[in-house]
Amino acid sequence: MGLKAVCPGSFDPITNGHLDIVERAAQLFPGVVVAVLENPSKRPLFSLEERVNLIRAAVKHLKNVEVECFSGLLIDFTRRIGSNLIVKGLRAISDFEIEFQMALNNKRMAPEVETIFMMTKNEYSFLSSSMVKEIIQFGGDVRGLVPPGVEAALKQKYGL
Ligand code: PNS
């Protein structure tokens, strides 16, 4: 793999919005590493292992994509794998403030690491892992919003 772009997130769980960004990054760069944040303080629905496995299943068709987990600072992980590129998706204006803050803090700590943003597809601009969990938990339909394996895993988690 040549230059690897890092696509970071909590992915609790991965949605089709995340997947769209990973697929587009995989077309633009020789390699993509999906970096899954451990962060136990967020009390995720899916364990780290479950999140990694769900992502691996969802990106199986993308030969230049690998999935790894990290804890601590994203820039340290990015440097450790020999990358200098972080790729993230931007949905609405509401994403901008936090993403801007993170990008600037990361730039201060690691000037050689660049963060670039891709606009989400229109159809996913309202989509988030939290919304998906809320919808399915109360009996709503999430088909088309998450990969099929994720829908099945969510149903199992909520005993549906
Ligand atoms: O899917 P999320 O929860 O929006 O992803 C956020 C993530 C994992 C990209 C962000 O929280 C992160 O990079 N965390 C690692 C800790 C870190 O590097 N923080 C410094 C940013 S200023």
Domain CATH for 150: 3.40.50.620
CA-CA distance, 133 to 15, in Å (whole number)?
11
Give just the sign of the alpha carbon dihedral 141, 142, 143, 145: positive
Identify any residues that bridge with 146 across adjacent strands, giving them in sequence order.
143
CA-CA distance, 144 to 153, in Å (whole number)?
15
Query: Can you tell me which atom of ligand 1 is nearest the CA of 8?
Result: 9
**Choice between 157 and 41, residue whose per-residue pLDDT is larger:** 157
Which pLDDT value is given to residue 2? 56
What number is the average pLDDT over the span 54-80? Answer: 98
Residue nearest to atom 7 of ligand 1 (CA): 9
CA of 159 to the centre of ligand 1 (A): 30
pTM for the model stands at 0.97
Which pLDDT value is given to residue 42? 84
**Structural domain boundaries, residue 43:** 4-157
What number is the average pLDDT over the span 31-38? Answer: 98
Number of domains composing the chain = 1
What number is the average pLDDT over the span 22-51? Answer: 95
State if residue 115 touches ligand 1 by the CB under 6 angstroms criterion: no
73-116, pLDDT tens digit by residue? Answer: 999 999 999 999 999 999 988 899 999 999 999 999 999 999 99
Residue nearest to atom 12 of ligand 1 (CA): 74
| CB-CB contact of 75 with 35 (8 Å) | no
State if residue 39 touches ligand 1 by the CB under 6 angstroms criterion: no
**Residue 1 confidence (pLDDT) above 50:** no
* Average pLDDT value over all residues in the chain: 96
Query: Letter for the amino acid at 67?
Result: V
If DSSP codes are grouped into helix, strand and coil, which group holds residue 2? coil
116-134, pLDDT tens digit by residue? Answer: 999 999 999 999 999 999 9
CA-CA distance, 124 to 17, in Å (whole number)?
5
